[in-house]
Structure 1
Amino acid sequence: MDGAAVDAYLRRIGAERPGAADAEALRRLHVQHLRTVPFENLSIHLGEEIVLTEQALLDKLVRDRRGGFCYELNGAFAMLLTALGYEAELLSGRVYGEDGRLGIPYDHAAVRVRTAEGPLLADVGFGRHSHFPLRLDTDAEQADPGGVFRVVTTGEGDLDVLRDGAPQYRLETRPRALADFEAGCWWQRTSPKSHFTQSLVCSRLTDDGGRITLSGRTLVTTAPDGDRTEREIPEAELLTAYRTHFGMPLTQAPLAPTPPTRG
């Protein structure tokens, strides 16, 4: 990323160029990213390719003002951090399902950032998660507006990330390249077993610490205290909803996935 691309990215998330690549600046960048760049899987339901290259990610997130899922969001964020002078590297993770089983290899991508204050976990691509980076050098509880988190080392040397006592995903500690996630990304956008092919979601953190989510045609507003309101959006108003609540100038609405046939 050259200087112009960095400046454009920072304008996209409403952040100033930090004076130093330290933990405090990372906290500001992290929360601003969550507030401005949605976690969304619309490309899958718009028939768009998902390309994991630097230029493709910058075009989608910055030029087109879209969001994405973990490979795109954390892939782009790692590039931005590196360009700002951070030592940032991608880590591969496997997400815990509702049945407690781990997902496929390269199921998730997160970012380890090495700072003078210690190694930190940055994750702007997991939907509901911590608002700020998590410390990786302690297994103590870490209070965050998004919950109480712990990062625990497993017997195999991996890292389990827990929120409010429940395991969220398991990270390997070996650094990975963005291209390493291409097979996982392909599976997520094509497999009928993938959560992303079965659902349609667009979600971001709100400025007050709540969350706004458009799931199919249901707009869910969650207050910081957890209070939720839901409203069905008429099909004719979907494009306006995406533009108003997520700043995304779509020209067509994504097609909601068809429920699997039982029998």
Structure 2
Amino acid sequence: MDIDAYLDRLGVGRPAAPDLATLRHLQERHLAAVPFENLSIHLGEPVVLDEEALFAKIVGRRRGGFCYELNGLFAALLRALGHDATLHAAQVFHADGTLGPPLDHAAIVVSLDSENWLVDVGFGRFARHPLSLSAVDGQPDPDGEFLVLDAPHGDFDVLLDGKPQYRLERRPRPLADFVPMAWWQTTSPESPFTRSLTCSRPTSQGRVTLAGDKLIETVDGVRNEVPLPTPEAIHAAYRVYFGMALTRLPVPPGGSPLTHGAPQPDTALT
């Protein structure tokens, strides 16, 4: 891995030591610089879960990705910088409180100073800072208060403002374990990613999301939605808000690039 090129993508210099302050800064910068997006599915591009392919996409082409891609590559960067970082599978909670399938999500656990920290740059709206997996009280974060609870079989339930987000496995997994579920997520008509088109990242005051032909900005809790009437306007939004120069626009489900087929902007997506 070209560590310096990856750090340049995040807008940071090479850190002096693999400590908690460094981990926190890298997570903040990754979330701000690398969008959560599922454009590859709607551009007809393959999603390849190996570090070389992910580096070429996220660093070389300055794109984003979804959980397996973003956390898969970020974990590799953290290891290259001296962190003890492992990938862990999670099951995402549905709105009705039921759990999704195993390996529905991939997150990172970093072992640092005899404590384990949850790091996640691939879940849409989620913690901007590392979360202690041993803390018994709520952990305040710019995006809300997070609580980590013990779950069956030694797993962890992660809650945001009292609402369950996902159940995290204790045991680590290699990136290759996520390949079958990533294939399902990118091909099944039942997958939320094949049924929607989104590109999103947090900002200093909230979040910005490009959902099909609608640009949605949330600033200090106030949501503003602006329709984008032309392909040129959509291209400009990808470039200005996400730093992405696309050669062609993704086609959302059942329509042209000007068809809005995406979910609401501030929903946490895997």
Pairwise TM-score range, normalised by the shorter structure: over 0.9
Tell me the SS of whatever aligns to 1:203.
Answer: strand
Which residue, 51, 68, 71 being the options, matches 1:71?
A: 68
Which residue, 111, 114, 132 being the options, matches 1:114?
A: 111
Counterparts of 2:58 and 2:196, CA distance in 1? 21
Contact 1:104–1:184 (CA<8 Å) still a contact in 2?
no
Shift, 1:100, TM fit = 1.7
Match of 1:229 in 2: 224
Match of 1:218 in 2: 214
Which residue, 232, 235, 239 being the options, matches 1:239?
A: 235
Normalised to the residue count of structure 1, the TM-score between the two structures is 0.94
Aligned residues, how many? 255
Which residue, 2, 6, 9 being the options, matches 1:9?
A: 6
Match of 2:123 in 1: 126
| Greater mean deviation of Cα atoms: 211-220 or 95-104 | 95-104
Shift, 1:62, TM fit = 0.2
Contact 1:97–1:103 (CA<8 Å) still a contact in 2?
yes
Counterparts of 2:126 and 2:172, CA distance in 1? 22
Which residue, 43, 47, 52 being the options, matches 1:50?
A: 47
Provide Cα deviations, 1:54-100, integer angstroms capped at 9, x if missing partner: 10000000000000000000001000000000000000001111222
> Which runs of structure 2 are paired with 1:23-102 in the superposition (5 Å)?
23-102=20-99
Contact 1:145–1:209 (CA<8 Å) still a contact in 2?
no
> Which runs of structure 2 are paired with 1:59-208 in the superposition (5 Å)?
59-116=56-113, 118-206=115-203, 208=204
Q: What is the CA RMSD across the aligned residues, in angstroms? A: 1.3
Shift, 1:113, TM fit = 0.3
Provide Cα deviations, 1:18-41, integer angstroms capped at 9, x if missing partner: 111011100000000000000000
Distance 1:184 1:54, change over 3 A: same
Contact 1:21–1:86 (CA<8 Å) still a contact in 2?
yes
Shift, 1:252, TM fit = 0.5
Contact 2:205–2:218 (CA<8 Å) still a contact in 1?
no
Counterparts of 1:118 and 1:136, CA distance in 2? 8
Shift, 1:218, TM fit = 1.0
Structure 1 gaps of 5+ residues are none
Match of 1:258 in 2: 254
| Greater mean deviation of Cα atoms: 225-234 or 88-97 | 225-234
Contact 1:158–1:171 (CA<8 Å) still a contact in 2?
yes
Shift, 1:155, TM fit = 2.9
Counterparts of 1:239 and 1:252, CA distance in 2? 8
User: Once superposed, which parts of structure 1, at least 4 consecutive aligned residues long, lie more than 6 Å away?
Assistant: none
Counterparts of 1:218 and 1:106, CA distance in 2? 31
Shift, 1:156, TM fit = 2.4
**Counterpart amino acid of 1:228?**
R
Tell me the SS of whatever aligns to 1:34.
Answer: helix
Tell me the SS of whatever aligns to 1:176.
Answer: coil
Counterparts of 2:222 and 2:114, CA distance in 1? 35
Normalised to the residue count of structure 2, the TM-score between the two structures is 0.92
**Counterpart amino acid of 1:243?**
R
**Counterpart amino acid of 1:253?**
L
